[in-house]
Amino acid sequence: MQRIILGGSRIFAAVIVLATAACGHKAEAPPPVVPVVALPVHPDGGNGGSESVSYPVEVTARYSNTMSFRVPGKLIKRNVRLGDSVKEGQVIAQLDPVDAQKQLASAKASLDAAEHRLVYAQQQLDRDKAQSEANLIAANQLEQTQDSYTAALAGRDQAAAQLVVARNNLEYNTLIADHDGLITSENADTGQVVAAGQAVYGLAWNGDTDVILDAAESYLGRIAIGQAAKITFPALPGRQYEARVREIAPAADPQSRTFRVKLQMTGTVESVRLGMTGDATLLPAGATAAAPTADATATAASATKADTGANAPNAGGNATSAFTLPATAIFHQDNHPAVWVVTGNDSTLQLRAVQVSSYTDHSSVVTAGLHDGDIVVLAGVHTVYAGQHVKPVRPLFDGEGNVDGPAPATPPPGASRPAPATPAAATTARAPANPAAARVAATQSSAGAQ
């Protein structure tokens, strides 16, 4: 009888343990909301894949040159300084002219001597001709006189040419502005001995003003001669200037591997100074994108029709507009490109097929499948899945300032935030099972003792 009672006690204790364990089991919590980098998208200014391209630019004169002396010498005088305006024919610098003046005087003396020799040779030739006609001199003597006259004539011409060179050398000791313009650099100081051709000043001509930019080879297809552009300068806020592409370099720079593009500014540019930096927005060149394929169009159309009712406010958008997205935003759906779109009030992800008209190293142009205001995931497209609850956050650098990282998920109003699990909490959750286990152990010990 005692064994039956002990057996019943063991069964009762086991039932209590199982009931306690069943009561301690909790339902699994819903998956947490995952932050994703996403932003609303808006159509570009152009259609059919055309987009505005912006580049940093610098203002330069259309024509400029370095000014230098054509002869060597010691620089003794400078009449202009950096930033001064000069007129054509204005004397801007001068070398020591003493040596050039001496050479000019020597050339004049040589010419005078040559002219006297020529006069004497001419008189001697006239006398010998008269004597030769009277048979008073030999024929070879007349020939010698004629040779002396010819040499004297050549000597006179040579001396005259040397005088011109000496006079030019004296003039070359004075540096004169060839055009109206602005002094942009000073490369020599007073008292310095300069070589022929050594730069002394930099001169930017007055007249047309250019802005220059360096374009990567992947963007050359979007730039054309005559293409319109809008120029803005941080130093001139609120002002916008018009320009047109004037020249595209036929070869890339050997070091940067970029192509120099020159734009001519039009209209009034009095406030624009040489060397100012700004931004040039090249407007679409007018080239239309290639016609979409039938498969891509059908896929994009089916994806648009399958969109949920949460996108109804965007249904009025222009489906043929072009959207420029980062290259990291493009995923795939079967064999077609696609993007992740945040839909619904619960911020769930939907994979939507799109049509891409062009790809570059950093961006892609979507021409079908998106609407104005759609929230598109821009990064991490390989780590999410359809139907996942997400929280869109701004990129680290999006033109609106920096953010330290994604904000924590905010619970709905009235709901309490679950406390994080800790070792202490886990121990407390297992505590209700411990008394029953202790009673079982105590019962088994007492039975064994008996």
Class of domain 55-62+207-282: mainly beta
| pLDDT on residue 446 | 42
Superfamily of segment(s) 68-194: Helix hairpin bin (1.10.287.470)
pLDDT confidence band for 120 (50 / 70 / 90): very high
Residue 182's DSSP bridge partners are 85, 204
| Full-model pTM | 0.51
Lowest mean pLDDT among 147-161, 210-224, 276-290: 276-290
H/E/C letters for each residue in the chain? CHHHHHHHHHHHHHHHHHHHHHHHCCCCCCCCCEEEEEEECCCCCCECCCCCEEEEEEEEECCEEEEECCCCEEEEEECCCCCCEECCCCEEEEECCHHHHHHHHHHHHHHHHHHHHHHHHHHHHHHHHHHHHCCCCCHHHHHHHHHHHHHHHHHHHHHHHHHHHHHHHHHHCEEECCCCEEEEEECCCCCCEECCCCEEEEEEECCCEEEEEEECHHHHHHCCCCCEEEEECCCCCCCCEEEEEEEECCCCCCCCCCEEEEEEEECCCCCCCCCCEEEEEECCCCCCCCCCCHHHHHHHHHHHHCCCHHHHHHCCCCCCECEEEEHHHCEEECCEEEEEEEECCCCEEEEEECEEEEECCCEEEEEECCCCCCEEECCCCCCCCCCCEEEEECCCECCCCECCCCCCCCCCCCCCCCCCCCHHHHHHHCCCHHHHHHHHHHHHHHHHHC
- What lies within 8 Å, CB to CB, of 290 at 6+ separation is 357
For domain 34-51+289-393, give the fold: 2.40.420
| pLDDT on residue 358 | 83
pLDDT confidence band for 425 (50 / 70 / 90): very low
* Residue 6 predicted with pLDDT over 80: no
Backbone torsions φ then ψ of 162, nearest 5 degrees: -65, -35
**Residue 29 structure tokens:** 């919590």
Please give the Cα distance from 78 to 80 (Å, whole number).
6
* Residue 112 predicted with pLDDT over 60: yes
- Mean pLDDT calculated for residue range 151-179: 95
CB 224 within 8 A of CB 243: no
**Residue 115 structure tokens:** 């002219």
More confident residue, 425 or 385: 385
**Residue from 36, 52, 111 nearest 331 by CA:** 36
| pLDDT on residue 398 | 52
C-beta atoms surrounding 304 within 10 Å: 18
pLDDT single digits (tens) 31-58: 788 898 998 888 875 444 445 678 899 9
- Mean pLDDT calculated for residue range 219-238: 90
For the chain, which residues make up each domain, given as ranges?
A: 34-51+289-393, 55-62+207-282, 68-194
Residue 94's DSSP bridge partners are 77, 174
pLDDT single digits (tens) 71-103: 999 999 999 999 999 999 999 999 999 999 999
Measured torsion, CA atoms of residues 52, 53, 56, 59, in degrees rounded to the nearest 10: -60
C-beta atoms surrounding 439 within 10 Å: 15
Residues in the chain: 450
pLDDT single digits (tens) 129-163: 999 898 888 999 999 999 999 999 999 999 999 99
| pLDDT on residue 10 | 57
Please give the Cα distance from 375 to 391 (Å, whole number).
11
pLDDT single digits (tens) 251-274: 999 999 999 999 999 888 888 999
More confident residue, 314 or 232: 232
Please give the Cα distance from 10 to 448 (Å, whole number).
12
* Residue 317 predicted with pLDDT over 90: no
pLDDT single digits (tens) 368-419: 889 888 899 998 888 888 888 898 888 875 544 333 344 333 344 444 333 3
| pLDDT on residue 26 | 58
